[in-house]
Amino acid sequence: MKPTKFNNLTPEDANLIQKLSEKLDIAVAERLSKAHEQKFYIETTQGEKQMLRIWDAEPCAWFESDTNMYEYVAASGINVSRPISAEPFREDVIPYQLFTWLEGEDLIDALPNMTSTEQFSTGIKTGMLMRKLHSLPPDQDNEVEPWKVRFERNVQRIIQSYSNKRGISQGVDLLVRYLKENQGWLDSRPQTFTHGDWNTENLILTPEGQIGIIDLSGDKDFGDPWWEFWLTPHDLNSSPHFYMGQIKGYFMGEPPQEFFRLLSYYMAYSTLEFLDDLVGKGEPESVKCVLNWFDDMRNPVPSWYYSQVTATHDDIPEIAGIYRSLIGTPGCTWDEDYPNKETAEHDISNGWLYALKKQDKIVAVVSIGNFDELGDLEWKSKNPCELARIGVRPELQKNGIGTLLLLHCFEIAKNQGFDGIRILVAKTNTSALALYEKNGFEQCGEVNRFDIDFYCYQIAFVE
């Protein structure tokens, strides 16, 4: 049966589909517009949804291995398209692969429409999936060259390429020197099974809110698992919370400092490798971006990343300074007596006080725990924790840090076994009221404490 409906097909595409329909059951065919290769959504006469990939008619040694790789990943329980059938490269034959169809929305399209909370949660799921992929055991028959040898060869090629050019910008020169001076970071790096092209174009958000893989890079790929993070896009304006969540989900918390050193190194390398104009006038935008992220390569923690740490006694002077800086700001009910240095010491001793850091500077603080201060009020959650003494540096407010702090509070509370969060918010603190309501808290009563009128707010975690 010939296809009955074509969507988004060029005459050349339509001709290929017509030829393939002589051996495949194709009733509907639609070109996947964002795919770099020839990929199509098809439906059979029975209404089954499938993905079709057509390759250029030229020999390709990894064709069969590529098909086996999808089976290898799917067998681990990872949600990935599975091969149905394939036609290898032969003369006068159109080479193709036919896969099961994963229902959902391309992650690259879904992210811009998510709230910050949804982005962060999706990022955590994506990082956990990446970690699971990297845990797959290597093929015992696969002889893998040491990563340092493999990657250093690429680094030397890039360094040599730029050393032969005149007029490179100061920023490009700084990235080249960064590669030269820090090659020791590649020593003893492990190699695992990797995706090879991990990015939001190759991931899908299922209707159930889970993450699936719709495309793998090719032949079984092995390398430093942290190399996968180099595809963090330079423009993070629409989805910074997702990429933070992906890192935290991968490491199930905060990554080691070694990760950030290698991230900065890999970003310097990839930026130089993919520059279109190596010696153009001015500083290329991608170079400006990387230099800005890493403070001219002086700080390996990127400027868009906020670390969540449990506060220590060494942090008390900085935290007490944040408390004092907020006294007298709109809506703040604090004074010189509360909260103060002693309050911070008490919360730290009980393991309640957390800080959000941007690079090496504390930007926000919060105390999280079961303080038994609000137990006399009525709440929906059976086992909620409480938030108290929340503060964001005044000069950094209205930059989304409050929302980011709450996202970390959600993860901390869930990891400690709480099923929700409750908090009192002064009626006069209009900005805080808006923040909590925007992030899913609901008002559930009023109370007067310390001669201050408060609203009671709570959020229950949904499984």
Could you count the other beta carbons within 10 Å of the beta carbon of residue 454?
21
Give the per-residue pLDDT at 2.
43
pLDDT at 234 over 90: no
**Domain end residue (candidates: 76, 101, 126):** 101
Confidence at 373, pLDDT banded by 50, 70, 90 = low
| Segment among 125-129, 161-165, 169-173 with least mean pLDDT | 161-165
What is the average pLDDT value for the chain, to the nearest integer?
87
Residues 66 and 121 grouped into a single domain: no
For 251, the domain range is 106-304
pLDDT of residue 242: 95
pLDDT above 70 for 34: no
Report, as an integer, the average pLDDT of 334-347: 95
Angle at 219 between CA 213 and CA 225, to 5 degrees: 65
Confidence of residue 72 (pLDDT cuts 50, 70, 90): confident
Among 44-58, 93-107, 148-162, 444-458, which stretch is predicted with the lowest mean pLDDT?
44-58
CATH code, domain with 170: 3.90.1200.10
The CA-CA-CA angle for residues 116, 117, 118, to 5°, reads 90
**Pair 453, 355 in one domain:** yes
Domain stop point among 84, 101, 118: 101
Inform me whether the pLDDT recorded for 125 exceeds 60. yes
DSSP letters for 16-80: HHHHHTTTS--SEEEE-TT-SSEEEEEE-TT--EEEEEE--SS--TTHHHHHHHHHHHHTTT--B
Q: Are residues 94 and 116 in the same domain?
A: no
d(CA 149, CA 132): 26
pLDDT score recorded for residue 216: 82
The CATH number of residue 329's host domain is 3.40.630.30
- Claim to verify: residue 209 and residue 350 sit in the same structural domain: no
pLDDT value at residue 400: 87
Structural domain total, the chain: 3
Per the structure block, which two tokens stand in for 45? 């006469």
**CATH number of the domain bearing residue 26:** 3.30.200.20
Residues 266-312: tens digit of each pLDDT = 999 999 988 755 555 567 888 999 999 999 999 999 999 999 999 99
pLDDT band at 3, cuts 50/70/90?
A: very low
Is the pLDDT at 381 greater than 80, yes or no? no
Q: Residue 262: which pLDDT band, with cuts at 50, 70 and 90?
A: very high
Query: 152 and 88: one domain?
Result: no
Q: What is the spatial distance between Cα 419 and Cα 430, in angstroms, rounded to a whole number?
A: 26
CA dist list (Å): 93 to 25, 39, 56, 59, 330:
17, 17, 11, 12, 72
pLDDT of residue 445: 86
Give the pair of three-digit tokens for residue 206: 């299922």
The whole-angstrom separation of Cα 392 and Cα 398 is 10
Instruction: Report which listed range, 53-62, 191-200, 311-320, is most confident.
Output: 311-320
Clarify whether residues 246 and 112 are in a common domain: yes
Amino acid at 447: V
Residue 254, pLDDT above cutoff 80: yes
Cα–Cα distance for residue pair 244/211, rounded to 1 Å: 16
Residues 389 and 366: beta-carbon distance below 8 Å? yes
Domain shared by 385 and 419, yes or no = yes
Q: How far apart are the first and last CA of the chain?
A: 46
Q: For residue 80, what pLDDT band results from cuts at 50, 70 and 90?
A: very high
Q: Name the band, by pLDDT with cuts 50, 70 and 90, for residue 434.
A: very high
pLDDT at 215: 82
Q: How far is CA 334 from CA 60, 165, 275, 362, 432, in A?
A: 69, 60, 51, 19, 14
From residue 328, alpha-carbon distances to 333, 347, 394, 422, 423 in Å are 8, 23, 11, 25, 21
pLDDT reading at 332 higher than 90: yes
Q: Give CA–CA dist 76/72, Å, rounded.
A: 7
Q: Are residues 93 and 181 in the same domain?
A: no
Mean pLDDT for 445-455 is 90
| The pLDDT value given to residue 57 | 56
CA distance 388 to 350: 14
Q: Are residues 88 and 118 in the same domain?
A: no
Instruction: Give me the residue label for tokens 């869930």.
Output: 414
Q: Given this model, what pLDDT does residue 1 score?
A: 35
In this prediction, residue 225 carries a pLDDT of: 95
- Whether residue 408 sits in one domain with residue 280: no
- Of the two residues 186 and 56, the one the predictor is more confident about is 186
Co-location of 155 and 270 in the same domain: yes
Q: In 335-462, where do the E strands start and end?
A: 353-358, 361-369, 384-392, 420-426, 442-449, 452-460
End of a domain among 283, 304, 325? 304
Q: Decide if pLDDT at 447 tops 70.
A: yes
Q: Tell me: the pLDDT tens digits for 410-432? A: 989 998 999 999 999 999 999 99
CA 264 vs. chain centroid, Å, equals 16
One domain for residues 315 and 294: no
What is the per-residue pLDDT for 107?
93
Which pairs count as long-range contacts for 160-165, CB under 8 Å and 24+ apart, including other chains? Answer: 161/278, 162/272, 162/278, 165/278, 165/279
